[in-house]
Amino acid sequence: MTGIQTPVALSSVPKFEIRNPTISITVLVYEKKDLIPVYTSKFCNQRPNHINLLLLSKGDKFHYTLITSLSRLVSDRTQHDGKTFVCQYCLHQFCYEHCLQNHLPECNRHPAQHIQYPEEGQNILKFNKIQHMFPVPLVLYADFESFIKPDGEHEPSGFCCLRVSKFPEHDHKIYTYSGDNVLQEFFKYVKQEQDTIDKILSSNLPINTLTDEEALTHNAATACFTCEQPFTTTNVKTHHHCHITGKYIAPV
């Protein structure tokens, strides 16, 4: 405890660990009926003696109390009947020790964390990205092949690019290249595809004459096909159509 004032402030816990190289410490607090890790040693699972402390406070007074079983302390978080293996960083429980050991290398890269769930009334997710409901008309998928040079570096040897479209006449065009200057050839090909796609998307055909069935569907609609909001005098019903084919799509 040399050079450490008492009562020991939370900020002094790392100093204590430096002076006691066989000990690692985790400090938890209890707030709003929940346990929260406020300090987790970077030496967890590396030193022979690990200590879990619960920091109790009232006003400007505080006191550390020893946690003899972290598994029992957080037992109400799971329906597992028996001992659990608890992560010191996020307090997540595992039924088997090997599951905890698999979890730790990823979790210990981050500071101590507290899982906070949304409150009732804020725990309902709702889709509101209306613009993403319209399918992308054309997409390019690319895949590279490479070989490994003696120094371990990957050298591209070729690529394949596939154009996929919701328009059958522009769908499934495959291009394959194998040879030198792979990346330069790839960007050259993508630029050619961009020019082609720009020409396709620049079409602006007027809407085709609606069939009897399409007219009945449109006239009967009382809400938008995408956002499902009702049509009003300010939210006016519109014929949504494809500008490339002229086909009627839906009332929006």
145-188 confidence digits (pLDDT tens): 999 989 889 999 999 999 999 999 999 889 999 999 999 999 99
Helix residue spans in 67-133 (DSSP H) = 70-73, 97-107
User: Residue 38: what pLDDT?
Assistant: 87
Whole-prediction pTM: 0.49
49-58 sheet: strands from edge to edge: 34-40, 23-31, 49-58, 61-67
Q: What is the mean pLDDT of residues 206-224?
A: 95
User: Residue 40: what pLDDT?
Assistant: 86
For the chain, what percent of residues have pLDDT higher than 70? 99
Q: What is the mean pLDDT of residues 44-59?
A: 89
pLDDT tens, 84-120? 998 888 888 899 999 988 998 888 887 777 667 788 8
User: Residue 210: what pLDDT?
Assistant: 95
* Domains of the chain, residue spans: 10-107, 133-190, 212-251
Q: Which DSSP helix (H) or strand (E) runs through 66? A: strand 61-67
User: Residue 81: what pLDDT?
Assistant: 83
Among 39-43, 68-72, 209-213, name the one with the lowest average pLDDT. Answer: 39-43
Pairing assessment for the beta strands 93-94 and 85-86 based on DSSP bridges: antiparallel
